[in-house]
Amino acid sequence: MHALAPLGEVIAFDRGGLDLAVPDQIVRAVRSVRPDVLVNAAAYTAVDLAEGEPDAAHAVNAAAVAVMAEEAKRVQALLIPFFDRLCFDGVKDTPYVEEDRPIH
């Protein structure tokens, strides 16, 4: 959030303000803010817990992202997924693309 602030107004939601497991909350947030750019920096990253809670992990890491994509399209916003080393290994010298294999 702080890194993006110099680029313009930033409206950020934390876990308390937006439950990604509830699609209607995502819809309401995107439609109320109507962003030009939507950055998704959230994920269910507790790998050990996710293996025991696959529905919760899927809700946040897959279903929520699909809702964000649809809502970004609806308001004509650019959707930027933000991944960390839990998705990619970080050794590539160029930006990662959709076709790159994740580490898990």
User: Mind listing the pLDDT tens digit for each residue in 17-64?
Assistant: 999 999 999 999 999 999 999 999 888 888 788 888 889 999 998 999
Alpha-helix runs per DSSP H in 4-46: 23-33
Q: Is the pLDDT of residue 2 over 70?
A: yes
Q: Is the pLDDT of residue 88 over 80?
A: no
Alpha-carbon distances of 10 from 1, 18, 39, 104, rounded to whole Å: 7, 15, 10, 31
pTM (whole model) above 0.85: no
Distance CA 67, CA 26 (A): 7
Cα dihedral 32, 43, 83, 50, rounded to 10, equals -160
Q: Is the pLDDT of residue 6 over 70?
A: yes
**Contact call for residues 65 and 40 (beta carbons, < 8 A):** yes
